Amino acid sequence: MASARRRNNSINQIKDPDGNTVSGQADVMGVIHRFFEQKWCSVHVSENGWPCLDSHAAILADATDRLVRDVTAEEVWEVVWELGPNRAPGRDGVMASFIKAYWSIVGDQVTAACLEFFSTGIMDPGWKDMVVILLPKVDHPIRPSNFRPISLCQTFYKIVAKILVNRMRGLLPSLISEEQAAFVPGRSISEHCLLGQEIMNKFKVAKSTMGWLALKVDMEQAYDKMSWRTLEVVLTRMGFPARFCSWVLGCICNPRFLVLVNGQLLETIVASCEFKKGCLLSPYLFILCSELLSLPFHQRFGELGVQIGAGGPLVSHLLYDDDVLFFAGATIPNVRKCLSILEDYCSWTGQRINKDKSAILFSRSTPSTTKSRLAKLAGCRKVEELEYLGIQFALRRLRKADFSPLLQKI
């Protein structure tokens, strides 16, 4: 059974950047190595025209002691016991279950190593050696981009990252805009789904001659292209203490990736950008940086959005991690404002929009000529229905069959 699984997971052929299909272990490994080497290279980001992040400073001022107090041996012990015992190990092969089982023998050394990092802010480079496994995103992957890279972090790294997450997580509801629902305590994906369905209902029944639009934006390799410089500036401008910033950047920056292909590790790739998928810290840092997408709506373009009911607030966008959905009146100025927000966000973070996977949906009352004009201006497909967070949004009445893909994932 294990042999059959290995055969099914093996990558026997792949397409190179020119579209040529190559086979043979050495050629396949070469194409994949070059792809990820280019993918994780540094990106230039702009620091001009950023939205104001100073409003977060007052919140963090009261939490400074909590964020930067000295890490204790007891805190390390508590985090070790929080870690999943049998999660996939990193390059060192050590699982949390081993450390727990032999804590009486290795506990002092583990604690001392972690406390050394928090004392100096310098992480042992070996802790950031990450084995990267490739999970297919489609049924028959043929291009390197059809695979999702997942980093297998070492247990020492996980302990440090978990301590930082524990200190920061409780502050997120006050720091992150309410439009972002992912990884924020007290917020739920179901609330976003229900809100999206309510907006779709308005799209069905509203008789506004202007019409409304929903723009689903696909961020290409969102975690892989997030700039470390962006993270550093976001943390600093939000008011995170310098000591806490140094700990976070000491974890995130300069990892060394070894991509696993057909049971063999490729040559080491030293990354110059990227939030590691598989790292406990990455999702929380990503949503902090995604404030650069939410804040322009609040600070510059408050008129954008859809009002569900009389007297209700305008809903301009919904975010769930890197899933992005914009709402606005179906006019040329509004589309240009949305595109301006996206262009600025990409220049500030290193992100890129995949227009082939992005889509725009219009309310029933939107004139046909307006739909065509705005879809062309946005540069993406005009659709009658779209999927967001696994839920089908459509102007027609949904059928039982529409929910089958969702039910199959449960």
Q: How confident is the model at residue 4 (pLDDT cuts 50, 70, 90)?
A: very low
Average pLDDT score over residue span 246-268: 95
**3-state class percentages of the chain: helix first, strand second, coil last, to nearest 5:** 45, 20, 35
Distance CA 104, CA 243 (A): 31
Cα–Cα distance list, 77 to 62, 89, 381, 399 (Å): 26, 19, 52, 51
**Under a CB-based contact definition with an 8 Å cutoff, are residues 189 and 338 in contact?**
no
3 has pLDDT over 60: no
Find out whether 293 and 222 touch, Cβ atoms under 8 Å. Answer: no
**How many whole angstroms separate alpha carbon 122 and alpha carbon 71?**
15
Nearest residue to 11 (alpha-carbon basis) of 3, 25, 2: 25
Distance CA(386)–CA(213), nearest Å, equals: 12
Task: Please give the pLDDT value at position 63.
Answer: 87
If you average pLDDT over residues 235-246, what whole number do you get? Answer: 94
In whole angstroms, give the CA distance from residue 71 to residue 164: 10
* Residue range(s) in the chain whose domain bears CATH number 3.30.70: 186-221+291-408
* Helix (H) or strand (E) segment spanning residue 35: helix 25-39
Instruction: Give residue 1's pLDDT.
Output: 44
3 state SS of 16: coil
- Write phi, then psi, for 376 (nearest 5 degrees): -65, -40
Q: How far apart are CA 83 and CA 259, in angstroms?
A: 24
Q: Which of 42-46, 144-148, 292-296 has the lowest mean pLDDT?
A: 42-46
Nearest C-alpha neighbor of 388 from the set 410, 358, 363, 365 = 358
Model pLDDT for residues 32-50, shown as the tens digit of each residue: 999 999 999 888 899 999 9
Closest CA to 286 of 189, 221, 214, 343: 221
The stretch 287-296 carries a mean pLDDT of 96
How sure is the predictor about 8, in pLDDT bands with cuts at 50, 70 and 90? low
Cβ atoms of 159 and 110 within 8 Å: the answer is yes
Distant-in-sequence, close-in-space partners of 332: CB < 8 Å, separation ≥ 6: 373, 374, 377
Decide the pairing of beta strands 129-136 and 256-261: parallel
* pLDDT for res 46: 95
For residue range 166-206, what is the model confidence (pLDDT) as tens digits?
Answer: 999 999 999 999 999 999 999 999 998 899 989 999 999 88
- pLDDT above 70 covers a percentage of the chain that reads 97
Mean pLDDT taken over the chain:
91
Which tens digits make up the pLDDT trace of 44-99?
899 999 999 987 777 788 888 999 999 999 999 999 999 988 888 899 899 999 99
Confirm if 95 and 155 have CB atoms less than 8 A apart: yes
* 70-79, 269-278, 390-399: the lowest-pLDDT one: 390-399
Average pLDDT over residues 298-310: 89
CATH number, domain 186-221+291-408, options 1.10.132, 1.20.120, 1.10.10, 3.30.70: 3.30.70
**pLDDT confidence tier of residue 313, bands split at 50, 70 and 90:** confident
Q: pLDDT for 315-361, tens place per residue? A: 999 999 999 999 999 999 999 999 999 999 999 999 999 999 999 99
Checking if the pLDDT of 134 tops 90, the result is yes
Structure tokens at 180: 């972002």
Q: How confident is the model at residue 102 (pLDDT cuts 50, 70, 90)?
A: very high
